[in-house]
Amino acid sequence: MVVLVYLLCGTSRGDNWVKYDDPYFGFSIEHPPGWTAKMDSNNHIIITSPYGDSTVVIYPFISKANMNASDYVNMYPSASGYVNTYFSDINLNSDYEGIAPGVVRQLNSNTPGLDQAVGSINYTRASDGTLLKEVVLVSIYQQSGMFYSIRAPEDNFEAMKGTLTQILQTLYFTEPSYVQWLEPKENAFTMEVPEGWNVIGGIERYPTGQIGLSEGSRGAIKATSTDGITITWGDVNLPNFFQTPDQSGNYFGYPEHALISDRVMVLHKMSGAEFSRWYVENYLAQEYGYTNIVITQNQDLPEKSQAFNDFYIKSGFPINQNVGEVYFTCSKNGETLNGYYLAGINSVNSGMGYETWDVQGIYGYVAPASKDNVASLVLAHMISSSKPNISWFNNEMNNAMRNAEIFMSTNNEISNIIMERYQTTSQTQDEIFRHFDNFILGQTDVINENGETFKVEAGHNYYWRRGDVVVETETYDRPDTDFEPLMEF
């Protein structure tokens, strides 16, 4: 048994640290004076000390389906040096020899679906014989991978590790600046879009085939950045309505996937999750030329669906909506991309023996791995900032004010769903940095039943606390009656 006095302290970040903002790539990071920060052409964020002997490297990537975090750490570096299929160009070259990979440790996670592993490497810089130490962490969440590395001369690593980990912890992704965009065809609504992005689309008219209502309207928008993000809201190429297949339809030559008219397709009823996947694998792939689509997560959101339906009922619209989302990776022009789409499905019983349903909304993006967080923020902002033109609504439907209110409330809820995803990703990043910091410093986090947290020495099975003293044991034996148990997290 060892007695440990816990200290809630660490290397503090100085007030004179320099903040580096990169509006093009959408990130911000802080570092000590005299250091340099940049993102290179391969999307590696590199922070280097004045003499170049200490570095921090951050590299977003898209994980292969059959690879986990430990696999990536184990293969970095390969036997031939820092040259392998995945991390061949991370601020390194063939000037390194005598590479000795250390133990790779798989890290536990409080976030479902988060896979993370950490390892250490020692090697020699051949040009001057300097012994170097590097610690790397790879995290994978929904196929979005992040590579983190800190490196310093071996004899100075202990002194530098606090500074290097604090640099990592200052990283966050930023939004672009926004300008107001007016729907160009009928001035139906406004929204805020990123400055400098190409935004096209607006309201589209279509014949309804209904007596007393000659045409209907719906909106579709596509926004693209110069660095590879594509955001879409709506799709004018989708049918307006879907009709579930039945025997009479088959008899008259309308089987599954047949078009009854330009705006009505025969298709079995789908949930929001099923439709979002179907849309990505069919319409999105065809319209934008995406290939090698791999679905990484696909789920319905029943709590969100119920909230929507409760709101619609109170508003006098008995809509039965089902909301679902899909995460995926895909390829275009040789580049692997991340993607996300959210769909809302509304079903109505026709009273004539068949059921019709439509898509209340389809929203999403495709982006490079380094832009995934930025794409989430921009999509959520565009949706939440949209504001209807009351005059346009008044011409389109009765009770324009109420319908405009529903339009804005629905968009706010959709935006909140997307923002929750971004916030989960941000919390995941905080957890990753906490585990990385603990591994480097040889410590772990423990918590008591009151929610108080403490940093203690890692490597023991059980921890107990009395006052300012923490005791570790290898078996579950309380040191004394007044010691409270602590749990690792």
270 lies in the same domain as 134: no
Q: How many CA atoms lie within 13 A of 235 on its CB side?
A: 26
| Residue ranges making up the domain that contains 164 | 17-170
**234 located within any domain:** yes
pLDDT digits (tens, 9 = 90+) for 18-43: 999 887 667 889 999 999 998 877 77
**pLDDT band for position 392 (cuts 50, 70, 90):** confident
91 lies in the same domain as 207: no
Q: How far apart are CA 285 and CA 314, in angstroms?
A: 38
185 lies in the same domain as 66: no
pLDDT digits (tens, 9 = 90+) for 39-56: 877 778 889 999 888 999
424 lies in the same domain as 459: no
Mean model confidence pLDDT for the chain: 80
Query: What is the number of other CB atoms lying within 10 angstroms of the CB of residue 157?
Result: 21
pLDDT of residue 56: 92
115 lies in the same domain as 215: no
Q: How far apart are CA 379 and CA 363, in angstroms?
A: 8
140 lies in the same domain as 79: yes
333 lies in the same domain as 365: yes
**pLDDT band for position 349 (cuts 50, 70, 90):** low
213 lies in the same domain as 348: yes
Helix, strand, coil proportions of the chain in percent (round to 5)? Answer: 25, 40, 35
**279 located within any domain:** yes
**1 located within any domain:** no
For the entire predicted model, the pTM comes to 0.73
pLDDT of residue 90: 40
CATH at 124:
3.40.1000.10
Q: Give the chain's domain count.
A: 3
Question: Buried b vs exposed e over 276-286: b needs ≥16 C-beta within 10 Å?
Answer: bbebbbeebbe
The mean pLDDT of 80-93, rounded to a whole number, is: 38
**12 located within any domain:** no
Measured N-to-C along each axis, helices 400-441 and 372-384 cross at an angle, to the nearest 10 degrees, of 160
The mean pLDDT of 149-178, rounded to a whole number, is: 88
132 lies in the same domain as 253: no
362 lies in the same domain as 345: yes
The mean pLDDT of 405-431, rounded to a whole number, is: 73
Supply the DSSP symbol for 109: -
134 lies in the same domain as 200: no
Burial class of residue 317, CB neighbours in 10 A (0-12, 13-18, 19+): middle
**7 located within any domain:** no
421 lies in the same domain as 449: no
The mean pLDDT of 307-319, rounded to a whole number, is: 73
pLDDT of residue 351: 52
Q: How far apart are CA 32 and CA 58, in angstroms?
A: 17
The mean pLDDT of 305-319, rounded to a whole number, is: 75
**Between 194 and 143, residue with greater pLDDT:** 194
pLDDT digits (tens, 9 = 90+) for 210-267: 444 446 677 899 999 988 999 999 998 888 888 888 776 666 678 888 888 777 888 8
Residue 306: left (phi > 0), alpha (psi -120 to 50), or beta? alpha
pLDDT of residue 350: 53
H-helix or E-strand spanning residue 139: strand 130-141
pLDDT for 171 beyond 50 = yes
**436 located within any domain:** no
pLDDT for 127 beyond 90 = no
